[in-house]
Amino acid sequence: MNGQTRDQLELIARITTVLGREARRAWLFGGWGLDARIGRITRDHGDIEFWVDRRDAAEVQRILIAEGAARQDTQPPAESTEFSWGDTWFSTAYFDARPDGTATPEGRWSDWVFPAGSFPEEPVEFAGLAARAMSVAGMVAMKEQYPGLRNGSPLRDKDLRDLDLLRSLLGAR
């Protein structure tokens, strides 16, 4: 494990601990979400991404800043917030839960629709820590929908590999 991966794991643990103390939830997604769901580290990651229910967004930001994270004004505030904690960056993106159990973000990505159950309550264990992670079905939906979104683009090779792995996890259930 390289230093960046170790720093990112430590930050994931810190964020989940800090938010857990305040009864707030955040779900890993992207590469770290995949790793959490399969229970092992698959590759180096360039970023750490969490989904947060929009109803908790302001409180999550307040908690993280009070604990030492520095807010970066790099993203549209209705969509997400980037932070740095030391030399490690992470982001929180915001979703809105719908009455039917599905969820969707606002702004440029409002045409994304996450299936019911995308944000499960139970944490998963991986790399010696417990964290919430977006469901496999939710991450599959994200990857499958992305190329067709109004602001989407073709999937990269790593996205295609991740999608194959996620689909195999769905088939194993």
3-state DSSP call for residue 81?
strand
Residue 117 counted as domain residue = yes
What CA–CA distance (Å, rounded) separates 116 from 113? 9
Strand 88-97 relative to strand 103-105: parallel, antiparallel, unpaired?
Answer: antiparallel
pLDDT confidence of residue 133:
98
3-state DSSP call for residue 43?
coil
| Single pTM value for the model | 0.94
Residue 19 counted as domain residue = yes
pLDDT confidence of residue 171:
83
Residue 90 counted as domain residue = yes
* Residue 112, token pair as written in the block: 């994304």
How many domains is the chain built from?
A: 1
What CA–CA distance (Å, rounded) separates 157 from 163? 10
Q: What's 123's domain CATH number?
A: 3.30.460.40
What CA–CA distance (Å, rounded) separates 93 from 78? 9
Name the residue range of residue 84's domain: 3-135
Residue 160 counted as domain residue = no
Decide: 155 and 164 in contact? Cβ < 8 Å. no
Decide: 42 and 164 in contact? Cβ < 8 Å. no
Residue 171 counted as domain residue = no
pLDDT mean values, one per 10 residues, the chain (173 residues)? 92 96 95 95 94 97 96 93 94 97 96 98 94 97 97 95 93 67
pLDDT confidence of residue 1:
76
Residue 159 counted as domain residue = no
Residue 143 counted as domain residue = no
